[in-house]
Amino acid sequence: MSETIYEPLPGGCSWVTGGGTRTAVKLSRSWQRPLAECFKQSACPIETKPQEPIVLPDIPEEWLLLPNPMTPHRRHRLVVPARCWVAEDLQILGGEAAIVSALKIVRIATTNDDVEMAAFMHVGQLAGQNMWHPHWHLKEVRVREPLEVIGWQSSERFIVGTEEFAIYAEGIRAGQCLVVPKRRTVFTAPNIQKLAKLLSDFISRMNEKWKSTEGLPPEFSMVIRLAPDHTFRYASYYPILNHWGAPEYVMAPFEQGPFTLPWPHEVTAAYLRS
């Protein structure tokens, strides 16, 4: 039995516990369904209902920026491809070119949004996806204290890096990763291209590394955070590798209890580096 850990996350708003008897990566997910079985493509509201896109200059072809009136969030819009994707494309967020197009729209749409913003996509129902058509949510973020992680480092949790970014195992879920800028990075077209390539390569790698013993790549979400000055704060990838219970749904949010990891982040990092 290893030592049980209790530690705060970057930002200090939540903390996690792990270790003890839970020290090994487990890949069995008998409860997961294939993406193509989760939705009826014929019922897609993007393609079956009239849409009135937000018209802005330089929106990439075959992409739309849509208003989202049914939301409690401020400045909430949807960044979507004009047509649905097959499951294989959804699993990789459409690939590098599609990620570039989506993030270009994010840059264009937030030109006058001098507030904290986030763009995120859910892949799979357990990750938060509620319709088959791929869609990036773009909305204002209301937080008590924005997370500052420029140059943040952790040698035991390091996974992979480039000249501009580094990726670490970190978060409240098993397999969750934090993409950190090594220096102040404005969300310009060249930096979007570099980030998109990193994310595309990383997601493809995670689809293989986290493939279940039943043969399915993980459901996951990807989050991009932008500061009011249009700099890149961080990105976070989290796969759905295990179920949560009462400690995560009740005690953690209500009483600041820890989120329980089925294995420590150091084990995740070592597994993903291998």
- Least Cα distance to 16 among 8, 26, 25 occurs for 8
Model-level pTM? 0.95
Whether 84 shows a pLDDT value over 80: the answer reads yes
Phi, psi for residue 181 in degrees, rounded to 5: -75, 140
Q: At what angle do helices 189-209 and 96-109 cross, to 10 degrees?
A: 140
> pLDDT band at 41, cuts 50/70/90?
low
Say whether pLDDT at 217 is over 90: yes
* Predicted local confidence at residue 87, as pLDDT: 94
CA atoms of 9 and 17, how far apart (whole Å): 11
Q: Could you tell me the pLDDT band of residue 14, with boundaries at 50, 70 and 90? A: very high
**Could you report the per-residue pLDDT of 221-250, keeping only the tens digit for each?**
999 999 999 999 999 999 999 999 999 999
Q: Is the pLDDT of residue 80 over 80?
A: yes
From residue 227, alpha-carbon distances to 26, 42, 103 in Å are 36, 38, 15
Give domain limits for the chain: 40-273
State how far the Cα of 218 lies from the Cα of 241, in Å rounded to an integer.
7
- Using the predicted structure, report yes or no on whether residue 1 has a pLDDT greater than 60: no
Q: Nearest-CA neighbor of 236 among 29, 77, 14, 39?
A: 14
**Where do we find the tokens 């970190």?**
170
**What's the pLDDT at 255?**
95
Q: What is the pLDDT of residue 42?
A: 66
Q: Is the predicted pLDDT of residue 89 greater than 70, yes or no? A: yes
The model's pLDDT over 145-155, given as tens digits with 9 standing for 90+, comes to: 999 999 999 99
The overall average pLDDT reported for the chain is: 94
Q: How confident is the model at residue 50 (pLDDT cuts 50, 70, 90)?
A: confident
Strand bridging mode 259-260 / 15-18? parallel
Q: CB count, 10 Å around CB of 208? A: 8
Rg of the chain on CA atoms, in Å: 19
142-172 burial, b for 16+ CB within 10 Å, e for fewer?
eeeeebebeebebeebebbeeeebbbbbbbb
CATH superfamily placement of domain 40-273: HIT-like (3.30.428.10)
